Amino acid sequence: MRHMTRGRNAQTSGLPPYFEERQRRNQGRCAVGCLALGGCQSSQAGGKPCYVIESIPKSRASFTRKVAWIDRASFLPLKEEYYDAQKELFRVFTADEVRDLPAPRLRQAGVDGVPTITKRTMNNVKSGHRTEVVFPQVRCNVGLTEEVFTERSLRRPPAQWTN
């Protein structure tokens, strides 16, 4: 994974501020409403048909409203807009590159590839700060076992999975 930041007060080490915040936030505390599902208005992001979902936190959070564009085919988030306490847009997430990655084990089940976000950007529209995350080498179905997903392994991944 490659992580780059641009703009004022850009972090140069550790996780980007957006990802640190996302880890801290309790995601189960949002009221969710659909703005464009089923027979409602159609919407697109990146030229793809999307579901548009609005989330409003029930308790204190860094945003008062989030609107997400979810690809109808892959269910990946293609765009998310975050609004501040003044109800003004302050942050925009975009999935800049989505690739179908080969998944040999799934080919037997008729799946040609796994849609994966390989480049994403978070823009703070007020400060001009921009964080871009690029995943240059992503592989699917590499044989990860449940033991890799323990807290210990996630903090200090086994060497075979970090090279």
Q: Is residue 55 situated within a structural domain?
A: yes
Question: Per-residue pLDDT for 151 more than 80?
Answer: yes
Asked if residue 162 is part of any domain, the answer here is no
* Residue 141 within a domain: yes
Confirm if 12 and 4 have CB atoms less than 8 A apart.
no
In a domain, 152, yes or no: yes
pTM for the model: 0.67
With respect to residue 85, please indicate whether it lies within any of the assigned structural domains: yes
Using CA atoms, how far residue 81 sits from 7, 37, 56, 134, 155, in Å, is 19, 17, 12, 20, 30
Query: Is residue 3's pLDDT more than 90?
Result: no
How much is the average pLDDT of 35-56? 68
Per residue in 85-141, pLDDT tens?
999 999 999 999 998 887 766 666 666 778 899 999 999 999 999 999 999 888 777
Domain count along the chain: 1
Token reading at 121: 């950007």
Residue 104 is part of which domain span? 2-156
Q: Tell me whether residue 87 is in a domain.
A: yes
The CATH number assigned to the domain holding 124 equals 2.50.20.10
Instruction: Please indicate, yes or no, if residue 161 is contained in any of the structural domains.
Output: no
Name the CA radius of gyration of the chain, rounded. 18
Residue 163 lies in a domain: no
